[in-house]
Structure 1
Amino acid sequence: MPSIQVMSHRTPPSLQYLAIQSLLSNQALAIAALEDLPVLLFPSLFVEVYARAHTEMLKALVQAWPFSCLPLGDLAESPDLETFKAVLDGLDLLLAKKERPSRWKLQVLDLRNEHPNIWIQGYPSMAQISYPDVLTDRPTESCGSMMTEEQPLILLMDLTIKHGTQDALQAYLLQWARERGERVQLCSRKLLILSGSISEIQKALRVVRLDSIQELKVNKFWHRETMKKVVPYLSQMKNLRILQFSRKRLTVTCRHKNFSYSYKYAVHLGQLYHLQELYVHDIFFLYGRLPTILRNLTLLKTLSLSSCPLKEADLWFLSQCPCSRQLNDLRLRSLPLDNFSPEPLRALLEHEAGTLETLALEDCAITDPQLLCMLPALSQCSHLSFFSFYGNHISISVLQSLLSHTARLSCLRQGIYPAPLECYPHHERWVGDFEPERFAQVQAQLEQSMRDMGTTQKVQICIDFCHHHKYWTFYTLGSDGYWVVTVKNHPGLSALPL
């Protein structure tokens, strides 16, 4: 039999693709034709030129760019530095010109991944990108949305300040923006500080427009001098929405200096009027300073305090301040409260009852009498969906009472509870002293209690935990009626990162 030849049916190239390839075959001609090039061809042409690293053509394209925003973040995750320099060179030539191209509208160079697949979608999506919501005071647009000589070019990039060699692209961009002064404004919605170097931190903060920062995460041991020089920048971050402040331990034991510096730090934190989420972990300067910090934070929705020394007066203020009536998420972790009155926590839960969705009172050494005082208020938290109470010192009878109260919360999906004191020698809880044989004796009581309550929540009994290595050991009652032991990396309160 004669062989059968199968013809390959390929999709013929589009006219737009052929036009772009024709342009790129003669770069000099293409550059000369940019003023007359249809606007809808610009995105596809830019992608092709960027991929081929045609630097001269790239410079010319930037100068003729007909849209208000050039979103480079989604074009390449790790752009070639030389190719990126060509983009900035094109901007340099443009900023130096007294007369700019007639249809040039570029106001923003966006280096974040805020517009997924924008280059695939092409012209229609590119034309619809609105001015990014990073500044309260936006530049004034002139006729035809053209950039005036007085109006700076906005650069958007999320920054990470870390120890050692900085990312090459970020380092070059910081230097480029620094040298251009008022003609360019570098804006960063998210800023992550992983360095303890004062010079590196200040070098970046002096370039970035501070009121553009909406999310700040600081996670580094700092000396007191670093704190003193960096914290004043906080009050200039007037649009900050999320603040995560971690690992700022006391390095000098002088009581007078500690008191003085703590007050100054608290004053700067208290000026963040738009703050909605506040996470502080391992911070020495909160002791007695919560009123100064929280008094003006009327928009706060999330509060996480972990391993921070507090006064009982701090909890009283928290229970009475305006933000306590609108909190959605609250975590208090590793705060010894066994010598505190239960009244401020009870009052706090009463005020939050209508809004609280996630609650963690973890490793706070809360005792039977304290918990019994708080239970009526806890049972009023009708919107609670997650509750974590591990690491506290309660008996089996009080644990059963706690389970009966949380069983009435119809929205509660998961609860993490401590193993009762009866599971430890002499009924005194110490990490590592848990005895499985003793727990076996209380399992039947817990199972019967949960059957009687008809609870639908996932109940987990935490028997061991280590915050430093981030592991938790649980007994979980499965649907088959058997207890299963698991060790996992569990954050405790999934909505809160600390």
Structure 2
Amino acid sequence: MFVKMDQKTTATLLELAAKSLLSSEPAVIHALEEIPRDLFIPLFSTAFLGGHKKILKAMVRVWPFHCLHLGSLKAQESYYDILESMIDGLPIPPPQNSSSRGHKLRILDLRHNSNCKTTCSQVRITFPFCLQSCRSSQHAVLNLENTQHHVRCLAIGNSGSEVESAQETMELLVDISLNNTLRTQQFLTFLSNKVEQSSGFLHLCCRDLQINRMSANKSILQILNLGCIGHLEMDQAYLGEIITVFAGMIHLHSLSLSNIPFRSYRGRNLKSFLVWLGQLENLQELRLSFFYLKDQLDKLLSVLPPHMDTLCLSFCGISMRDVTFLSQSSQATQLRVLNLNNNHIFSEAYEPFQVLLEKISGTVQHLEINNCMMTDSILLAIIPTLNQCINLRVFNFAFNPITMPVLKSLLQHLASLPRLKHVIYPVPIHCYHEQNFHHSLNRQKLAEVQAQVKAMLHMLHKDHVKWATYYD
């Protein structure tokens, strides 16, 4: 009698086989030339989660697919040790006499990406295909192979040496965080040495670069192709240092800057910064924190692309004049995410914000006005406009001096929003002793508020919508 096995059953059997193999590292390494291709993926996952560095190094050397991605895998410990083992397994330059399987690995992706499988489907058009391959650098595998294919089609000259170069080139995809820890510095030194030793065979592709204290990490930039970077996050850097990094980042789509010293704005620095910022045509997300912009937001908005969909300006000293300019900007009707946290924008008037809210009402999905000095009267005035934000999913207005009756009124009105999933609301002022806002919280009163909110949500059949405070 034959038993029909579904894909899930087959996967489970492969995982069991992989675990059985790992009981003897030398035997696994010796058998890599012979084991079925289908066993490589579950074996890799099991070896990675178990921290089998020698096996991982050997597997990279004979990987039978075009690409290898960490995907959703996370190491339990010795993360950098594991990454170094895998990088060390790259056969660079490739051996003249490759293994019986042939030398197939071209892209090693060491980024954590929950939506990425261990290897891409074996789709072929003219040459091996990978969804995560670099498209930004002329040294990337995909671009080199495109060039060689074009040369072949035109039959121009003898392209033998060029084809060989394209076939040998490999990509290493890695997110880099320069955080000044000793282990990070050791990893970056290892990475730099590997790239230099490859003599051009290895293309290092960094899509996400995080820099803490720019002055201590300038050397690593020399081995990076800045055109590959899509997201840049910098903390505690001078504007002049940021400008030097901008120069090669032509494909940047997300920029986060925080804790920029105010004294670095002097002279021509701010003007130069705005010039460079204006050259980032692909920019979609801008996040600034502790970046003083009072009465200067119009200058920033004038150089930003009109198609931007994310703008976060926390602790930026934003005034009502700035809010007015934002409401009149070309970006206003495109914004999906707007964060104005920790700016006292309601200390003067609320009308400019109400106009802004009307402009973004058709697109905004995530709105934060946490700690903006919003009072009962202001909230009551903007509730009708808030109710027009039909795509709103997340609303954060914590740490504003609101009373319980107004909070209840807001809850009843927002219940009609079809996509609202999460609200972070302020603790009503009666929960603080002697109306001392932000201090001396009465936990019993807060518990009563939370119970009332929960009961109202149940009565309105909105139990799936999470209303919470920062104290939950």
Give yes or no for TM over 0.5. Answer: yes
- Residues of 1 paired with 2:421 and 2:47: CA distance? 52
Contact in 2 for aligned 1:282/1:308 (Cα 8 Å): yes
Question: Which of 250, 254, 264 in structure 2 is aligned with 1:238?
Answer: 250
Alignment-derived partner of residue 468 in structure 1? none
- C-alpha displacement of 1:190: 1.8
Quick check: 1:364 aligned with 2:401? no
Deviation digits for residues 72-114 of structure 1 (CA, Å, limit 9, x no counterpart): 78899445588557534x31355xx799999655543333345
Contact in 1 for aligned 2:277/2:304 (Cα 8 Å): no
Instruction: Pick closer, same or farther for the CA change 1:365–1:183 going to 2, 3 Å.
Output: same
Tell me, what secondary structure is at the counterpart of 1:243? strand
Instruction: Pick closer, same or farther for the CA change 1:210–1:293 going to 2, 3 Å.
Output: farther
Q: What letter corresponds to residue 68 of structure 1 in structure 2?
A: H
Instruction: Pick closer, same or farther for the CA change 1:395–1:455 going to 2, 3 Å.
Output: farther
Contact in 1 for aligned 2:395/2:422 (Cα 8 Å): yes
Tell me, what secondary structure is at the counterpart of 1:338? coil
Instruction: Pick closer, same or farther for the CA change 1:393–1:149 going to 2, 3 Å.
Output: same
Deviation digits for residues 285-312 of structure 1 (CA, Å, limit 9, x no counterpart): 5751454256433332232221111233
Tell me, what secondary structure is at the counterpart of 2:304? coil
Contact in 2 for aligned 1:278/1:304 (Cα 8 Å): yes
Instruction: Pick closer, same or farther for the CA change 1:338–1:424 going to 2, 3 Å.
Output: farther
Contact in 2 for aligned 1:242/1:277 (Cα 8 Å): yes
> Looking at CA atoms only, which structure, 1 or 2, has the larger radius of gyration?
1
Contact in 1 for aligned 2:111/2:173 (Cα 8 Å): yes
- Residues of 2 paired with 1:53 and 1:353: CA distance? 55
Quick check: 1:393 aligned with 2:401? yes
Quick check: 1:185 aligned with 2:195? no
Question: Which of 163, 167, 174 in structure 2 is aligned with 1:157?
Answer: 174
Question: Which of 211, 224, 227 in structure 2 is aligned with 1:208?
Answer: 224
Tell me, what secondary structure is at the counterpart of 2:290? strand
Alignment-derived partner of residue 310 in structure 1? 318
Contact in 2 for aligned 1:41/1:123 (Cα 8 Å): no
Contact in 1 for aligned 2:301/2:326 (Cα 8 Å): no
Instruction: Pick closer, same or farther for the CA change 1:262–1:439 going to 2, 3 Å.
Output: same
**Which structure's residues are more often strand, by fraction?**
1
- Residues of 2 paired with 1:337 and 1:130: CA distance? 47
Quick check: 1:217 aligned with 2:225? no
Alignment-derived partner of residue 110 in structure 1? 109
Alignment-derived partner of residue 494 in structure 1? none
Map 1:208-287 → 2, pairs under 5 A: 208-218=224-234, 220-222=235-237, 224=238, 227-250=239-262, 252=263, 258=266, 260-284=268-292
Q: What letter corresponds to residue 277 of structure 1 in structure 2?
A: E
How many residue pairs were aligned? 423
Contact in 1 for aligned 2:367/2:395 (Cα 8 Å): yes
- C-alpha displacement of 1:348: 1.5
Deviation digits for residues 342-372 of structure 1 (CA, Å, limit 9, x no counterpart): 2321121111112222222111002345434
TM-score (normalizing by structure 2): 0.69
Instruction: Pick closer, same or farther for the CA change 1:373–1:259 going to 2, 3 Å.
Output: farther
Contact in 1 for aligned 2:285/2:310 (Cα 8 Å): yes
- C-alpha displacement of 1:207: 1.3
Q: What letter corresponds to residue 462 of structure 2 in structure 1?
A: T
Alignment-derived partner of residue 144 in structure 2? 140
Residue ranges of structure 1 left out of the alignment (5+ in a row): 1-9, 463-471, 474-487, 489-498
TM-score (normalizing by structure 1): 0.66
Quick check: 1:322 aligned with 2:330? yes
Deviation digits for residues 182-208 of structure 1 (CA, Å, limit 9, x no counterpart): 443211122222x315242x2122211
Q: What letter corresponds to residue 245 of structure 2 in structure 1?
A: Y
Q: What letter corresponds to residue 139 of structure 1 in structure 2?
A: N
Question: Which of 331, 336, 339 in structure 1 is aligned with 2:347?
Answer: 339
Instruction: Pick closer, same or farther for the CA change 1:293–1:213 going to 2, 3 Å.
Output: farther
Tell me, what secondary structure is at the counterpart of 2:271? helix
Residue ranges of structure 2 left out of the alignment (5+ in a row): 1-12, 153-159
What is the percent sequence identity of the aligned residues? 24
- C-alpha displacement of 1:436: 7.7
